[in-house]
Chain A
């Protein structure tokens, strides 16, 4: 091919390449637009907001780092962070353990139809809105009319006032959250279990490994990427818990269920302190990013990369 031919073809090729590029941009533009409007835009806005004092009704004022300084002197924040970490930690442990156990149980079911029923039954609560779930549990745990209390009374057991007792409110929310969302973890675990090559399990069995040995030495290591994914997803979701707390306890009793997002909402939309609320939002971002980074760093030690 002579250099003249290349020169003659170049404008056409360039046009074609530009058209292809434009088509590519057009294809991704809805996603890019949504990202800019709902993620990048609000993120930049939140950073800017954190440097201002703004009550929504009067013009904002630039206050420098005052809102960030307040993060270190706010007497309520440590308790709020403690509640959130307790909830997140409990959520990860309970979801992973129960999700995995349920997945193992369903995976080992001999009857296929019972297996399908179990999958639907376990996953179903996850499809119900948080508002409905919260109201349902408020009825269930009502100390006078709730059936948990009534059945316990029939057995002569006196239960605590779960949602009004500061010692029991957060554990109750943890259990409610587990009931509602463990189906999602279960599905992830089940999918992970089904990626474990059956020939490896068979080989281990042929070598005389017991069921427990197969689980600890074959299944679990091969499931580790799934467990890693579930850990990250559960932590991020748990750290942002809001709906059930707002509906069931409103952060009470005595602040025992106020989590960081609940606190952020209170500061922004009840105290009209949007600047400080933005600073809290950035703190949430930093914590979630930090913990996720730590998890990624730690994955080398326990996640089996095949």
Chain B
């Protein structure tokens, strides 16, 4: 008995020590302050961004350009192929918690408020002030909406600037010209069409070619938000303080998305649908996406056979928008070098170079987005992706982003798959979102 008590005491001591150790530890970027300024022209930099193998290729070429200009800054760039921004945020947080030193994190809208609220990012005001001309030039070339959104949704806890916005993505439709031609369906000349026109086109395409009009997914950014925003709805109100996922407009949007499956214009969800292959084979009339489908379109050698048009509308033009943003973590040991790198990313040259080599975002600078660097070797109408910023809604991303996304996608998926009526399903999702917001 005595021995057992001793053993228990030892175990308790080990656990208590571990708990004490852990309560003393902070996340890599966390705590308050620390870090060092370092030199603007030299030092080691660690940069984390989201990118699959193709995107990493483009990023690596961009980083090589940076190193040509700043050979003494050793940039260690880590691309995380996480697939979505919620998972990316989690991966970065895990790395920070594991004690990994990260100087700059590329964070998209989905994670910006979360990272900004944790007090782990440096206030960029002194750096902006130090290079005011450079920043002013950059700011002047951005869409006013992007500047506004960055301030509104991605500021630090006390309103400080902790992110410099980078490229963005809106949602549009890539049309397979030959499918439309075969079906005798005209492509909307000004890029605008209504839900009714979309359905009419789909029925004619189905009848004449047998091709599906569109996919029927439940991705938050690529499926849910486009149908909501083109019907004056969204998942949350403007300041993301209250969910609005069961409004009559949202219900109407979900029912419309379901009707596309019921009419046979979209394949049934619930398996693995290879949109790119179907598009190439003429079995799918449209691909949904932001800038990223352009890589597939190029690989399929279909640039001339594709047109980008706006998302069909019911009440208004609409699209979600998510943008990349760069920051400097508080515990960076080379803040000046990190700022040098951010300045490089803000430059017109870097923007043009990245757009040319296959970056999968719309360049933040309007001058680049409207230039040959972005529109060249891309489908006709590509400029509509940047124009969509004018009516876009920032993708609502509360702090419990990944959980909220799951609730939103699961409800949408249930409706589109015909496994639940729109109103009660969205009511149930609304309840869950309300409880997440109130946490």
Contacts and interface: CB of A to CB of B under 8 A. Distances in A.
A115 interface: no
Which of B25, B413, B419 has most chain A Cβ within 10 Å? B419
Interface residue range, chain B? 35 or more
Contacts of A132: none
Nearest to B264: A144
A223 B114 CA distance: 56
B413 A253 contact: yes
A253 B26 contact: no
Interface in B90-108: 90, 93-94, 96-97
A55 B22 CA distance: 12
A171 interface: no
19 contacts: A44-B18, A47-B15, A47-B18, A48-B19, A56-B93, A57-B29, A57-B97, A59-B27, A138-B272, A142-B270, A143-B270, A164-B270, A164-B419, A165-B270, A165-B417, A250-B406, A252-B413, A253-B417, A269-B90
A49 interface: yes
Nearest to B22: A60
Contact of A144 (B115, B268, B402): B268
A54 B406 CA distance: 21
A142 B22 contact: no
B86 interface: yes
Contacts of A135: 272
Contacts of B97: 56-57
A161 B271 CA distance: 9
A253 B429 CA distance: 13
Given A143-B268, A144-B267, A164-B269, A254 B403 contact: no
B120 interface: yes
B400 A271 contact: yes
B23 interface: yes
B272 A57 contact: no
A193 interface: no
A254 B428 CA distance: 11
B94 A252 contact: no
A62 B414 CA distance: 39
A52 B403 contact: no
B272 A142 contact: yes
A98 B413 CA distance: 34
Interface residues of A, number: 42
A57 B120 contact: yes
Contacts of A271: 400, 402-403
B93 A272 contact: yes
Interface of B: 14-16, 18-19, 21-27, 29-31, 86, 90, 93-94, 96-97, 114-115, 118-120, 267-273, 400, 402-403, 406, 410, 413-414, 417-420
Given A56-B93, A254-B419, A266-B406, 6 more contacts: A49-B22, A59-B23, A59-B31, A142-B267, A143-B271, A251-B406
B19 A57 contact: no
Contacts, number: 129
A44 B21 CA distance: 12
A221 interface: no
A165 B419 contact: yes
Contact of A141 (B31, B120, B270, B417): B270
Given A44-B14, A57-B118, A164-B419, A62 B23 contact: yes
A51 B19 contact: yes
Given A142-B273, A250-B406, A166 B419 contact: yes
Contact of B30 (A58, A254, A270): A58
Interface of A: 44-45, 47-49, 51-52, 54-62, 135, 138-139, 141-146, 161-166, 250-255, 266, 269-272
Contacts of B402: 266, 270-271
A45 B18 contact: yes
B86 A270 contact: yes
B271 A163 contact: yes
Given A57-B118, A266-B406, A139 B93 contact: no
Contact of A57 (B18, B30, B420): B30
Contacts of B272: 135, 138-139, 142
B410 to A, nearest CB: 5
Contacts of B15: 44, 47-48
A141 B268 CA distance: 11
Contacts of B268: 143-144, 161, 164
Q: In this complex, which of A51, A60, A165, A266 has the most chain B Cβ atoms within 10 angstroms of its Cβ?
A: A60
Nearest to A76: B432
A135 B320 CA distance: 29
A36 to B, nearest CB: 12
| Interface-centre pick from B15, B22, B31 (highest chain A CB count, 10 A) | B22
A177 to B, nearest CB: 18
Nearest to B425: A254
B332 to A, nearest CB: 16
Nearest to B435: A75
B268 to A, nearest CB: 4
A143 B27 CA distance: 45
Contacts of A165: 270, 417, 419
A139 B270 CA distance: 10
Contacts of A139: 271-272
Contacts of A58: 26-27, 30, 118-120
A134 B419 CA distance: 22
